[in-house]
Structure 1
Amino acid sequence: MNLKPRIGLSFDGQCEAAFKFYERSLNGKIELMLRWGESPMAKDAPAEWGGRILHARLAIGDTELLGGDALPGSYESPRGFSILLDPKDPGEAERLFNALAENGTVRMPLQETFWSPRFGVVSDQFGIPWTINYEKPE
């Protein structure tokens, strides 16, 4: 079995802004940004949902980040997980950390630990938790 988990994120009306931020910060490419108002379900959804994102897809390397805006009143802040990024060099670790920390909250500064020359934890400006973990090649 070749199972490849993908990450799906929920936002409180900020999915489009978040994915544009991730496209820049993670050197990704937005492949899809489908609004409720453009979907086959538009006629069944309240008009105020029209601009909200039903489904977004961002290609990052050989994986995808998926997302959408939660239905109004149903959004819950992220908790109990972190998206782990494994940069290939210390410079890329610093670039990723600093980009994701822009207007976000640093939980653990990017620093050397006993297991990693560059490790840090940040919640971005949209409340999504990220862990940067550069492992020196052996």
Structure 2
Amino acid sequence: MKVISYLNFDGNCRPAMEFYKSVLGGELIAMPFGDTPMSDDMPDFADKIAHACLMGDGWHIMASDCPPGHFEAMKGMNISIHVPTAAEGKALFDKLAVDGTVTMPFEETFWSPGFGLLTDKFGTPWMVNTDMA
């Protein structure tokens, strides 16, 4: 079994997923609504994303734009990233935090040499954690 995060956006899926690709790497595949059978029902939504997938080595993040009137902001969850070193964690944290809101600065905790919480500029909450030695 795989558990894969699926994010919903209010019309800004493409720039969000391009941002995540710039931070996390991986391969991004995106299908706009205009390339689907739904394009006739939502002609003004043709350039928005019906489905996107960012794939890295052993991980995926999927996403889409919600049809008009169906978006609800993300809450009660985090995308959790675990990396081997505090230096890697800090670098990812700082990139994701650009123009976002830091909830807990990236710092040493009793369980980790580096941990932090933030909500990025697209409204996605992230948890960056470093593995214990």
TM-score of the two chains, using structure 2 as the length reference: 0.96
The one-letter code of the counterpart of 1:10 is N
Distance 1:91 1:54 in 2: 35
Does residue 8 (structure 1) correspond to residue 37 (structure 2)? The answer is no
For residue 30 of structure 2, the aligned residue among 33, 37, 47 is: 33
**For 1:2-42, what per-residue CA distance to the aligned partner results, in whole angstroms no more than 9, with x for missing partners?**
x1111100000000000000000112220x21011111222
Distance 1:120 1:130 in 2: 8
* Number of residue equivalences: 133
Percent sequence identity over aligned pairs: 36
Deviation at 1:73, TM superposition (A): 1.2
Does residue 102 (structure 1) correspond to residue 98 (structure 2)? The answer is yes
Does residue 23 (structure 1) correspond to residue 29 (structure 2)? The answer is no
Q: Please, which runs of 5 or more residues in structure 2 have no aligned partner? A: none
**Map of 2:43 onto structure 1:** 47
Distance 1:130 1:112 in 2: 17
Root mean square deviation, CA, Å: 0.9
Give the conservation status (yes or no) of the 8 Å contact 1:22–1:28: no
Give the conservation status (yes or no) of the 8 Å contact 1:57–1:67: yes
